[in-house]
Chain A
């Protein structure tokens, strides 16, 4: 059974910080179909549209009938572990630093033979397992066999924890605690066992609704942070940057206007100032120090979460300038992801549908409760996914966008 991890001791600042290394990240383009699904938390395999064969490793043609009509299709991952090993001598630095490392061969019920990482709670082969696709430290899909049924503390398995960004015992910065979303995220993190939660607020001279409740959470420390002010961001980074394991950027400015309904650029500029330039300022101050701590022991720097919007994918004209600022933030988040990749720190983009708050007053339900959004963010960290679309509306629009982005553009225009 998995030994629960213990709260790490205080770091000795004199000792050298181990630098991040990565598992090999090169894949054939066709294999990235696996990664595309894993980034959303889905284990998908190629299924032949002509003969129904399910195959792995990914190929350019069906190995059964040579058809090239292959469709990535979600799988339940059930199968039998039929052979296994513990690697004690590895060729790459990343694995050398982590041996012994358990690997196995699983015959999936749907046919293919898959080489997988093996969870420590799985009994010796032969035995039943569930295979899922995780993202590894290179942000590439890695197949991982889990016990057939959940076991106590299974998330804390040494190998599985390399794939996830579990907040347990980690130190987290939530950039804006003034909003309902920010406060819900703080509560969810506290419940998930975060060690310390810094909560930013832009105007430290005055209290906001929910201030007292936040202060009562034992892990919480309120810190001044104004994303529109470069000096404020720099000062906080200088103070706590080297300790932040997870950064969750909940700061946003949300107004509900299109182009014609609000003449001038002041509101749009204010949205960009927080939603886009705020992210840029944060990334410039906190990015480098988090990159250096990607392998810093049990509670290394592990994730950066951006609160975007489903409107980042396709503009919602009723909230046109807000949509544009979130699209800009999404683009910058891709840049951040590319720059963070060498450190193993995952950049998670969250694309909620409309949240049930005052600026979405005129949007019809279903709307996303702030607590549901917060739980989705913590779940994304625990699952180690890259993109998450919480709520029914986000899922609906995502499906429409993947199916036909032009159609969604028309649908959003009303």
Chain B
């Protein structure tokens, strides 16, 4: 038993994606305001009806969620700012759900987004964290490409993964993205193109990398009765986990905090991995996809490459995976990347699809991963959602 209270009675609704663009001259506040306005419009609510706000953004500085309340004219009684990048979507759901469940807020708007200007990406990496700024970036300024190259090199040698395995996931995600109108990549990707792409930071090649861009994601968290009153389709939360700085003694990251908490996740949800109809992982590089598949119990550690060889990963195939194309094909809109999978999963479960629909999707798993503070990603989390309609 987990010993943790369930998330019964709390639901997610009104998913919205603000179309991604490669570069924007607008500020982060614009993208976040569009996500908030989009979710409110979808739910038929006025902003005065929101009493909780949860924000995630890298480029909002010098503001935080606090500044955003005045910027957007919101008076809330519950406010959170989550600096956890790719894990922020899962963490937002956990925190907002408890706030709603306990009555600290009635409706929480969860928004995540960033702008991307021509030099934003370098500036963010140059000052990402104290350890990165002091002990990694000044050695080669490779950014996340170099950090994930270390993980990928180690994983390939240790577990026998081949570039073709990672390529298969990238190609499948691109197939999914071709059905998602907001994906920045609109051309089919072949395995040959993947294999022939130019090297970026060995063994990482071009199509292993996400493209930084601007965009935003948003959704609302409220009690089920409220969603039903509003006539909103919703997804309910079966279980959720979160872990930071797991396995610090591992010399190179080959597993994440999911492996610590996976049993707790399924126990709380009362399901088994085989019951999951689709999964959305945090996919800034394919190696971390494979780690999530392993650590979330779909196969054993080290069996990821073989698992990849046995499945198709497309929306209509076996093991539907990153059904809107993921960040690898949609783009990485900063902190919005941590909510891309969450918003897509809500759309799949509420039948509000923009991308291809997973047939009869009832249960989806969303996983988050974030913050390469020094040599590894520190934040992990996952949530299992179930379809529910008013």
List the interface of chain A (C-beta within 8 A of B): 23-28, 31, 56-58, 82-92, 94-95, 101, 103-105, 107, 113-117, 125-126, 136, 138, 140, 142-143
Please give, as numbers and ranges, the residues of chain B lying within 8 Å of A105 by CB-CB distance: 150, 154, 251-252, 375
- Enumerate B139-183 residues with CB–CB distance to A below 8 Å: 139-143, 145-146, 149-151, 153-154, 157
25 contacts between A and B (CB under 8 A): A26-B133, A31-B135, A57-B134, A58-B134, A82-B154, A89-B142, A89-B145, A89-B200, A89-B201, A91-B121, A91-B141, A92-B122, A92-B126, A92-B141, A94-B141, A103-B150, A105-B154, A105-B251, A107-B251, A115-B135, A115-B136, A125-B157, A126-B157, A140-B138, A143-B139
Q: In this complex, what residue of B is CB-closest to A117? A: B139
Contacts of B142 in A (CB 8 A): 85, 87, 89-91, 95, 101, 103
A103:B139 contact, CB within 8 angstroms: yes
Chain A nearest CB from B291 CB (Å) reads: 15
A298 → chain B closest CB, angstroms: 21
Bound Cα distance A87, B138 (Å): 13
Central interface residue in B125, B135, B150, B199, by most chain A CB within 10 Å: B135
In angstroms, Cα B148 to Cα A87, docked, is: 11
Q: A85-B149, A103-B139, A142-B139 are in contact. Are A91 and B126 (CB under 8 A)?
A: yes
Instruction: Report Cα–Cα, A140/B203, bound state, in Å.
Output: 29
Contacts of B251 in A (CB 8 A): 82, 105, 107, 113
Contacting pair A85 B375 (CB below 8 A): no
Contact assessment for A25 and B154 in the assembled complex, using a CB-CB cutoff below 8 Å:
no
Question: Contacts of B203 on A, CB cut-off 8 Å?
Answer: 85
The listed residue with most A CB atoms (<10 A of its CB), out of B145, B200, B201, is B201
In which size bucket is the chain B interface?
35 or more
Nearest CB in chain B to that of A159: its residue: B140
Q: A90-B141, A91-B142 are in contact. List 12 more A-B contacts (CB 8 A).
A: A28-B133, A83-B252, A85-B142, A85-B150, A85-B201, A85-B202, A87-B146, A91-B126, A91-B143, A92-B126, A105-B150, A107-B251
B-chain residues with CB within 8 Å of residue A104 when the two chains form the complex: 150
Q: Are A91 and B125 in contact (CB under 8 A)?
A: yes
Tell me the minimal C-beta distance from B275 to chain A in angstroms: 36
Q: Which residues on the B side are within 8 Å of A89 (C-beta)?
A: 142, 145, 200-201
Q: How far is the CA of A105 from the CA of B203 in the complex (A)?
A: 14
Check B134 against A31 for contact (C-beta < 8 Å): yes
Closest to B373 in A: A57
Residues in B whose Cβ lies below 8 Å from that of A101: 140, 142
A24 x B153 contact (CB < 8 A): no
Q: Is the CB of B140 within 8 A of A28?
A: no
B134 → A minimal CB distance (Å): 4
Q: Provide the residues of chain A in CB contact with B207, threshold 8 Å.
A: none
Chain B 93-137, CB within 8 Å of chain A: the 1/0 string?
A: 000000000000000000000000000011001110011011111
In the complex, chain A residues whose CB is within 8 Å of the CB of B141: 23-24, 87, 90-92, 94-95
| Interface status of B371 (Cβ within 8 A of chain A) | no
Contact partner, B138, options A86, A114, A136, Cβ 8 Å: A136
Cβ contact of A125, chosen from B131, B139, B145, B153, cutoff 8 A: B153
> Is A24 in contact with B140, judged by CB distance below 8 angstroms?
no
Q: Is B204 an interface residue (CB 8 A)?
A: yes
Name the CB-closest residue of B to A63: B248
Q: How far is the CA of A103 from the CA of B137 in the complex (A)?
A: 11
Q: Which of B12-27 contact A (CB under 8 A)?
A: none
Say yes or no: A88 contacts B199, CB within 8 Å: yes
CA distance A83 to B148 in the complex (A): 11
* Contact string against A for B residues 247-291, beta-carbon threshold 8 Å, 1 for contact and 0 otherwise: 000011000000000000000000000000000000000000000
* Cβ–Cβ contact A117 & B133, under 8 A: no
Q: Kindly list chain A residues whose C-beta atoms are within 8 Å of the C-beta of B204.
A: 85
Assess the B200–A28 pair: CB atoms within 8 A. no
Tell me whether B134 and A103 are in contact (CB under 8 A).
no
CB of B221, distance to nearest CB on chain A (Å): 35
> B374 at interface (Cβ–Cβ under 8 A)?
yes
> Across the interface, do A88 and B202 meet the contact criterion of CB distance under 8 Å?
yes
A138→B138 contact, CB < 8 A: yes
Tell me the minimal C-beta distance from B309 to chain A in angstroms. Answer: 24
Q: For residue A26, give the distance in angstroms from its CB to the closest CB of chain B.
A: 6
Chain B nearest CB from A63 CB (Å) reads 8
Contact of A24 among B121, B138, B157 (CB under 8 A): B138
- Cβ of A27 and Cβ of B134 under 8 Å apart? yes
**Contact at A95–B140, with CB atoms within 8 Å?**
yes
B261 to chain A, nearest CB (A): 22
**How close is A222's CB to chain B, nearest CB, in angstroms?**
42
| Chain B residues within 8 Å of A95, by CB | 140-142
**A113 in contact with B201 (CB, 8 Å):** no
Chain B neighbourhood of A143, CB < 8 A:
135, 139
How far does the Cβ of A263 sit from chain B's closest Cβ, in whole Å?
Answer: 54
* A56: chain B residues within 8 A (beta carbon): 135
Q: Which residues of B contact A94 (CB under 8 A)?
A: 141
- Whether the pair A91, B122 counts as a contact (CB closer than 8 A) is yes
Given contacts A103-B142, A113-B251, contact A85 B126 (CB under 8 A): no
